[in-house]
Structure 1
């Protein structure tokens, strides 16, 4: 045994001549590589999970936006509602809020000739008498706004719609100081027919 051979070591660790045993520690390369691969996988999974979360929320927003656009297009392409209400189904009370006599009767007679049912005719109530500066006021229940007011408005242009607490279906036409006459019958008939004719809405934004 050579003097360079550590005690207790023999066999392949025997030092002879110029040969020395390799005493280096075992390499950590495998553990380093394994740790690096694990870190890369962890980062990859974290990134994938984040992407999925973003896609979920972004996708949900996109779906909502798409649904909103589809709804808007459906509304845009739908036809306007048809108003089937006819003049004979509307009872009109005609009141004169001006100093000119006979105005309410003349207007009521003309509305009757055009097919409207006429109720009371006379001077306007104190709340409106001599206090309507425009063409006139259409007064009725809240439900009249989407029906009788539209139909009666084709005959008297420029009136102001107002509602009150009545529960009946009749409406008041209160003539103001700017009133002269009803709309010409041909024009009024055209406007009345337009209410019952569906018109396609604009599709350009779909």
Structure 2
């Protein structure tokens, strides 16, 4: 061989390996994909910490939320004058039933029988008192009379009349103040707000 490829004995021709274009193309694609993933991840992190598109999320929230329901109508509660109360004393203290009946009369209630509690309840009412009446009394009469003496137990029987028994228990000391009873009665008559699920 002649020319620059001639071997003289101490030097060899420097031959280059053919370049592989495929390797460069794959490296370029990989770099683009990596940059794209990094950018997408950065956007996700920004959305997490800033709350994303607030207008869109608010619109979605409104769309998913049902229309608010109207408030429940106010309860039609009986007036104290329309409630006939029988007052019975289940405590060892004498004269308690008459004093309680007189106080309820001042507050507008109609008073029926007054006396000692029947044997089934005499000295067997541990709380401040018990209200006893027909099942229908639970919807109006019991709550209205209960505003005068919080903590009373409620019990129904088979009577057909609309009167209610108030049996004074061993922990009875006094009725609620007229102001507190009036506030409790007002709270009873207010319509209950409709619960919101959103």
Whole-Å separation in 1 of the counterparts to 2:112 and 2:158: 18
Asked if 1:157 corresponds to 2:158, the answer is: no
* Map 1:44-193 → 2, pairs under 5 A: 74=69, 77-193=70-186
Asked if 1:201 corresponds to 2:194, the answer is: yes
- TM-score after normalising by structure 1: 0.61
**Residue 193 of structure 1: CA displacement?**
1.7
Ranges in structure 2 where 5+ consecutive residues have no aligned partner: 1-64
Q: How many residues align?
A: 134
Structure 1 or 2, whichever has the larger Rg, is 1
Ranges in structure 1 where 5+ consecutive residues have no aligned partner: 1-68
Whole-Å separation in 1 of the counterparts to 2:113 and 2:159: 15
**Residue 84 of structure 1: CA displacement?**
3.1
Whole-Å separation in 1 of the counterparts to 2:136 and 2:74: 16
Instruction: Give the secondary structure class of the aligned counterpart of 2:88.
Output: strand
* Per-residue Cα deviation, 1:89-115 (whole angstroms, up to 9, x for no partner): 100000000000111111111110000
**Residue 80 of structure 1: CA displacement?**
5.0
Whole-Å separation in 2 of the counterparts to 1:106 and 1:202: 43
Q: Aligned Cα RMSD in Å?
A: 1.8
**Residue 194 of structure 1: CA displacement?**
1.8
Contact 2:137 2:162 in 1 (8 A): yes
- TM-score after normalising by structure 2: 0.63
Contact 1:139 1:172 in 2 (8 A): yes
Whole-Å separation in 1 of the counterparts to 2:132 and 2:66: 39
* Corresponding residue number in structure 2 for 1:34: none
**Residue 192 of structure 1: CA displacement?**
1.1
* Per-residue Cα deviation, 1:1-55 (whole angstroms, up to 9, x for no partner): xxxxxxxxxxxxxxxxxxxxxxxxxxxxxxxxxxxxxxxxxxxxxxxxxxxxxxx
